[in-house]
Each structure stands twice: as structure tokens, then as C-alpha cells.
Amino acid sequence: MKILSAKFMTSAAKPPQFPADDKPQVAFAGRSNVGKSSLINAILNRKSLVKTSATREDPAHQFFSHQSAILLRRPSGYGYAKAPRSVVDAWAPMIEGYIKDSRQIRIVIVLLDIRREPDERDARLIAWLAHYCVPAFYVLTKADKLKRGETARALQSITKKLGLDQPPLLTSVLTGQGIVELKAEIAKRLNRGPGSGTAKA
């Protein structure tokens, strides 16, 4: 996937504010501090186009556009331990409804920090995506933070705990590991039509 240009489109807190654009979309989901902003910047070949939310109670979806697709950074609604439960509960219907019903979503990139054991929130997200047949691709971030042996053990443990058919893709924004492969996967999914099924890795 060759990126010729990229720009910030809008930040939307409610469905009427979402961009009316027929480009295919790629959604990035994950717990807080998993590295969504850094990874999207790496994919778009930008250093600071995507910025971390200034507040942990920010419910906004952020939309970014390049020549052939829109990238959606969804709020970390299921990951912020410090966000009030009422705020998290308010985010959930908007987040889930948009991803489930959108005809533009081609793939949800689920990000998991390789240093963290998956918990019930991660499991619920994966089960939800599978239940609604939302295509998903799983990525482990911050692979540079562990030694080789630790990485292998974490990869095996996370794959088994989440019941994935294949291990997630290892990535590191710092070293560039896995970025080319992730771009290739996204490009492949963008060429598919909507509703093409769920992927497990």
C-alpha cells in the first residue's frame, strides 16, 4: 500500500458527524496505551498526524484519509481504567453500532500490547467481532520491548488465550518490524468488497 498523501478529516462524537464518504474504511481498536496513534502514523508515513487523545473521557472517533481509503481511530472505550463506567457505557453503543452497520468498514485492526496479558475486555471485543462477522486482523504492538525468548512465549500465550487460529502479527513502530506486512494486509482487505467474512489473524 503506497501512501501518496494523508490528512486528518474530522473528529466525530456522534453518528451524524461521521464523514459522508464512500471510500472503504479501516478501523483500529485496542485498549489505552496500546499504540494506536503511533501505528497509524507509521502506516501513513507521518510522525504526528495522529495524536493521542488529550482526555481519557474523549468519546470521539478520529478519521484520517489517504488517496484510497479512510482510517478510523476508535476511542479506547474498553481500555481506559480511569474513565467512569458511565462514560464507557455511553461510548459502547456508538462504537459498536458504527462498526457493525457500516458498509465502508473492510477490516478492524485489533491491537494488543505484547507485554500485557489479554483480559475479559479483549476477549469480549474478539467475541463481539466474531458474532457479527466483522472482519478482523490481530496485531501485537511494542515487540521491541521484549527479548526474543520473551516474545516467543508471549506470542504463544496470547494466541492460545484468545483462541486465535493464527498468531497475531508482531509489530514495532520503533524498529519498523511488521509495518510493511501490515500495510500489505490492509491493501489486500481494501480490495475486497464489504462483508467478506471474519479473519482470525
Q: What is the pLDDT of residue 37?
A: 83
Which residues of the chain are under the pLDDT cut of 70?
A: 1-10, 12-17, 48-98, 193-201
Looking only at the bridges linking them, the beta strands covering 61-66 and 6-12 are antiparallel
Query: What pLDDT does residue 80 have?
Result: 41
Q: What is the pLDDT of residue 103?
A: 79
pLDDT tens-digit profile of 4-35? 456 666 676 666 667 777 778 888 888 888 88
Whole-model pTM above 0.85?
no
- Say what the pLDDT of residue 162 is: 93
CA separation (Å) from 91 to 29, 57, 145, 152, 153? 13, 10, 31, 35, 34
CA atoms of 110 and 57, how far apart (whole Å): 21
What's the rounded Cα separation, in Å, for the pair 201 and 165? 7
d(CA 106, CA 191): 9
Tens of pLDDT, residue by residue over 179-201, are 999 999 998 988 876 655 544 45
Predicted local distance difference test score (pLDDT) of residue 2: 57
DSSP annotation of 143 reads G
Cell numbers at residue 74, please? Answer: 476508535
Residue 84: C-alpha distances to residues 16, 29, 53, 95, 123 (Å): 25, 19, 16, 17, 21
Round to whole Å and give the CA distance between 175 and 154. Answer: 19
Task: Please check whether the domain covering 24-190 is classified as CATH 3.40.50.150.
Answer: no
Q: What residue spans define the domains of the chain?
A: 24-190
